[in-house]
Amino acid sequence: MALEIKENGGFFEIIGRVTAQNVTALRVYFNAVLERNDTMVISVEKVKEMDPSVALFFESLYRDAAKQNKVLTIIGRQNDEVSRIMQATKTAYILGTDRV
Where are the domains positioned within the chain?
4-94
* CA dihedral of 38, 43, 44, 48, whole degrees rounded to 10: -140
Query: What is the per-residue pLDDT across 2-11, written as a single tens digit (0 to 9) for each?
Result: 789 999 988 9
Q: What confidence score (pLDDT) does residue 26 get?
A: 92
CATH 3.50.50.60 matches 4-94: no
Q: From CA 19, how far away is CA 78, in angstroms rounded?
A: 19
**Residue 98: pLDDT band by 50, 70, 90 thresholds?**
low
What average pLDDT does the segment 77-100 reach? Answer: 87
